[in-house]
């Protein structure tokens, strides 16, 4: 995707340094963050400098390659990288592939495998855009949750990729981007992407989606996924489940967009997906620029209260209309077919 006319991937390897767009600073400041070793890359994943299923996967693959390049203990590095974010399947998928390549052929093969994974992620998301755009009629009003655009993948994105393709086809889509508390990825990242693409959109409060569905103002909803179980259950950003329930009640088609690297064939159902619990600080505080452009963090909740902060929930396959992959659109119960050669 283009930023001020320059093409960027979300994350890439330059020599032995992993570079990534600093997503914690968006949309107020566009910065490139450098990670000189795998430990720094692990820290960037944990603190969500880089976030989103595919982008995490590419970053984790590069981190594993960094360990081989530096001659670090690869097994210890693998354990550390896999401990950064427990829910996203793409992270484990990438680390396993690069680790195996490094053991077989050293640092050179590890780097080549990491680059291959990043390239595959781009190609898969591009195909998702083509398949998903066919679902969008002209002047479609679409809702999405969190950020599953190009910032969440190495490029193109998953849930937003069909929107970008449809816009280029002249279909004139309109997107409702819910704010996505507690970190505001919809209000900050999805809206920033859509503005940059010239796509009409509105930021809505997290609890406004059902109201708009009830009024017939949403034609369909597409979300991303951080892990899809073998039975079609899908884990995504917390708040996705309630959107799926509302969509079912009001008859709004509800799609999940995810590359096959997000599908975990070894995970029988959503009950087996680990759910990350993040720091309560994310719920209690918010950050943004003051009137002078200085980033400030302020408490927005009761000073005497604590918080619970599950990062993901699981949407049962029964609530999902279809899963858009790089191999086509599948019924949730048939997602295993997408993994066949």
In tens digits, the chain (341 residues) has pLDDT values of: 889 889 999 999 999 999 999 999 999 999 999 999 999 999 999 999 999 999 999 999 999 999 999 999 999 999 999 999 999 999 999 999 999 999 999 999 999 999 999 999 999 999 999 999 999 999 999 999 999 999 999 999 999 999 999 999 999 999 999 999 999 999 999 999 999 999 999 999 999 999 999 999 999 999 999 999 999 999 999 999 999 999 999 999 999 999 999 999 999 999 999 999 999 999 999 999 999 999 999 999 999 999 999 999 999 999 999 999 999 999 999 999 999 98
* 58/120 Cα distance (integer angstroms): 10
Entry pTM: 0.96
Q: Please indicate whether residue 206 is annotated as part of the active site.
A: no
Q: In the block, which residue shows the tokens 């909803």?
A: 221
What confidence score (pLDDT) does residue 5 get? Answer: 87
What confidence score (pLDDT) does residue 4 get? Answer: 87
CA dihedral 227→54→242→22, nearest 10 degrees, is 140
CATH number of 137-339: 3.40.50.10470
What confidence score (pLDDT) does residue 2 get? Answer: 85
What confidence score (pLDDT) does residue 83 get? Answer: 97
Contact 150, 10 (CB under 8 A): yes
Q: Do domains 2-127 and 137-339 have the same CATH topology?
A: no
What confidence score (pLDDT) does residue 272 get? Answer: 98
b/e code 130-164 from CB counts within 10 Å (16+ = b)? ebbbebbeeebbbbbbbbbbbbbbbbbbbbbbbbb
Domain boundaries, the chain: 2-127, 137-339
What confidence score (pLDDT) does residue 341 get? Answer: 85
What confidence score (pLDDT) does residue 84 get? Answer: 97
CATH number of 2-127: 1.20.120.420
What confidence score (pLDDT) does residue 303 get? Answer: 96
Query: CA angle, 61 as apex, 113 and 287 as ends, to 5°?
Result: 150
* 284/275 Cα distance (integer angstroms): 20
* 200/202 Cα distance (integer angstroms): 7
What confidence score (pLDDT) does residue 1 get? Answer: 82
DSSP tally for the chain: helices H, then strands E: 10, 18
DSSP state of 335: G
Catalytic residue among 178, 226, 233, 264: 226
């Amino acid at each position: 995707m283009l930023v001020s006319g320059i093409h960027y991937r979300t994350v890439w390897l330059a020599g032995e340094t992993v570079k990534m767009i600093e997503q914690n600073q968006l949309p107020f400041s566009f910065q490139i963050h450098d990670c000189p070793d795998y430990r720094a890359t692990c820290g960037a994943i944990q603190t969500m400098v880089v976030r989103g299923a595919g982008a995490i996967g590419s970053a984790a693959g590069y981190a594993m390659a960094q360990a081989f390049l530096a001659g670090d203990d690869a097994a210890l590095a693998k354990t550390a990288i896999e401990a950064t974010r427990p829910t996203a399947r793409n992270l484990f998928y990438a680390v396993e592939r690069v680790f195996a390549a490094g053991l077989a052929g050293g640092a050179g093969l590890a780097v080549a495998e990491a680059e291959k994974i990043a390239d595959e992620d781009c190609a898969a998301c591009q195909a998702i855009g083509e398949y998903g755009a066919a679902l969008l009629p002209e002047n479609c009003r679409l809702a999405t949750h969190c950020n599953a655009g190009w910032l969440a993948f190495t490029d193109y994105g998953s849930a937003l990729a069909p929107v970008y393709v449809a816009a280029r086809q002249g279909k004139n889509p309109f997107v409702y981007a819910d704010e996505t508390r507690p970190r505001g990825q919809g209000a900050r990242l999805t809206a920033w992407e859509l503005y940059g693409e010239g796509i009409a959109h509105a930021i809505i409060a997290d609890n406004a989606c059902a109201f708009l569905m009830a009024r017939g103002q949403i034609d369909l909803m597409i979300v991303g996924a951080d892990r899809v179980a073998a039975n079609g259950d899908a884990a995504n950003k917390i708040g996705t489940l309630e959107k799926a329930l509302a969509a079912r009640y009001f008859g709004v088609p509800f799609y999940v967009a995810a590359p096959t690297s997000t599908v975990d064939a070894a995970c029988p159902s959503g009950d087996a997906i680990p759910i990350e619990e993040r720091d309560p600080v994310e719920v209690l505080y918010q950050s943004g620029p003051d009137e002078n452009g200085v980033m400030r963090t302020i408490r927005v909740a009761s000073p005497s209260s604590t918080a619970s902060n599950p990062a993901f929930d699981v949407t049962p396959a029964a609530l999902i209309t279809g899963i858009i992959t790089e191999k086509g659109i599948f019924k949730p119960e048939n997602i295993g077919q997408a993994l066949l050669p």
